[in-house]
Amino acid sequence: MNENDNFSRIWYGTRPGALPIEWETFKFRQWPGVRVQYRRLNGPTTYDFSISGKAHCFFLLDVHRVDGETIVGDLPKITTKDLRDKFVFSGESCSISGWSQLAKPGAFTMVELETIESDGMCGLRPLFIQSDALLRSILTQFKALAMGDGSEIPGYAETLAIILPQELKRLHAARSRAHAEIGGLTPRQLRAAIAYIEDRIDQEISISDMAQNLGISPFHFIRMFKKSAGVPPHKYFLARRVDRAKELLRSPQLSISEVAEMSGFCGASQFTRTFRKVVGICPSRYRRDLS
């Protein structure tokens, strides 16, 4: 393998007392700006490894280790044992190191893109995830090229190398949206959701309509609202109805049935049951205690 400063340096070393490293398969191909290798390691063995350089590195793993740890840049230490169908992106000038103990053979496909050919990937953080279907498909095709399976179409590897960064950016964007959603609603979104509820205290409301009003899915709206408000939207809505009922109960001229209707409950019976469950006493007792 020719050394190139724009690509990565890989090192493997057997740990003391372990069986020597034996590569059952090692395949390597290189094209302008991109190179790929497929390695399959015999087991059992225990080894240290490190990967460093300037290239953007993509890995599709097929390893199940007995023990070990992996450090990818500034990500938390990875001690996952089942690394089958896992995806790793190391990023530009991001080192990888660690050790693994294997009882059975393990393998990986590694694709490296030169920095000068990796437009748009600068600044993308390292990743360690369950393999994405589209990224897995591209890396599997690179593996087939490295193994010499089938007839290679001129320019095919370079085309895959152009698509790969785009799929990585798609994955990063999707994960950023997910993290934002998990983090809760923005202050503006929370104010809009609460205003929506307040305007419809005495009406039936739809979670789907509330989510659509904010431009997010109902599933994520429920998660995000709970993160921001501390309770799911339906519980918040119910609590606000009870609060409205408490205010109305201060008016002695209103009957229990009228309070129930004005608070959005379906009749005095449902109102009484719900009020007692939330407040601990029935509405009439609450009204008497106000005197």
Q: For the chain, 291 residues long, give each residue's pLDDT as a single digit of tens.
A: 344 556 778 889 988 888 888 899 999 999 988 999 999 999 899 999 999 887 889 999 999 999 999 999 878 788 899 999 999 998 777 889 999 999 999 999 999 998 654 456 667 788 888 888 999 999 999 999 999 875 678 889 999 999 998 999 888 887 766 666 567 888 888 888 999 998 988 888 889 888 888 888 888 889 889 888 888 899 899 999 999 999 999 998 999 999 999 998 988 999 999 999 889 999 999 998 887
How big is the CA angle at 94 (ends 123 and 68), to the nearest 5 degrees? 130
**CB-CB contact of 113 with 167 (8 Å):** no
Residue written as token pair 């193994």? 147
Best CATH choice for the domain 8-181 from the list 3.40.109.10, 3.30.360.10, 3.30.450.20, 2.60.120.10: 2.60.120.10
**CB-CB contact of 97 with 51 (8 Å):** yes
How many angstroms separate the most distant Cα atoms in the chain? 91
**CB-CB contact of 172 with 155 (8 Å):** no
Q: Name, in order, each residue with C-beta under 8 angstroms of 51's C-beta and a sequence gap of 6 or more.
A: 8, 9, 10, 11, 57, 90, 95, 96, 97
What residue spans define the domains of the chain?
8-181, 187-290
Best CATH choice for the domain 187-290 from the list 3.30.870.10, 1.20.1250.20, 1.10.3720.10, 1.10.10.60: 1.10.10.60
Which alpha helices (DSSP H) does the chain contain, by range? 133-147, 156-182, 187-198, 207-214, 218-229, 233-248, 256-262, 268-279, 283-290
- Distances in whole angstroms, Cα of residue 58 to Cα of each of 5, 54, 142, 196: 17, 13, 11, 46
Write down the number of H helices and E strands in the chain. Answer: 9, 10
